[in-house]
Amino acid sequence: MSRGRLGPHRVGAKAVELAENVTRRAGHLNRIVLPTLAAAYAETGRFSEAIDAAQKCLAARRQSANWALVDDLQLNIANYERNAPCGAWPQEACLLLRNRPARVRAA
């Protein structure tokens, strides 16, 4: 799919096709498929659709308090907003992640 670091072997168009097919068959937006769909959209230059899919998933991840995935989605959305695919993180984003304080779990 498009999320790996495969360089010239990245196949965003096929990833879009497969992720859209899964979403269509499910009959709803699946929060497991949405990050892949967003990454595939970004890989093919469809950044506004990538942002939309990632933001829909982000709301669900926040409700489940899955903070690692929330952080990942926020970085991906930042990339999509600057017209870059996921995984193309600027160095300052990597430093922010490395130096962020640990989240406290609600009891």
Extents of the domains making up the chain: 7-99
Q: How confident is the model at residue 27 (pLDDT cuts 50, 70, 90)?
A: confident
Average per-residue pLDDT in the chain? 79
Distance CA 85, CA 87 (A): 6
Q: How confident is the model at residue 93 (pLDDT cuts 50, 70, 90)?
A: low
Report whether 35 contacts 54 (CB < 8 A). Answer: yes
Query: Does residue 90 surpass a pLDDT of 80?
Result: no
By C-alpha distance, which of 47, 35, 16, 97 is closest to 24? 16
pTM over 0.85: no
What is the CATH code of the structural domain delimited by 7-99?
A: 1.25.40
Query: Does residue 4 surpass a pLDDT of 60?
Result: no
pLDDT confidence of residue 52: 95
Query: Does residue 61 surpass a pLDDT of 70?
Result: yes
Distance CA 32, CA 83 (A): 23
Bin 76: left if φ > 0, else alpha if -120 < ψ < 50, else beta. Answer: alpha
46 versus 3: which is more confidently predicted?
Answer: 46
Stretch 88-99: mean pLDDT? 54
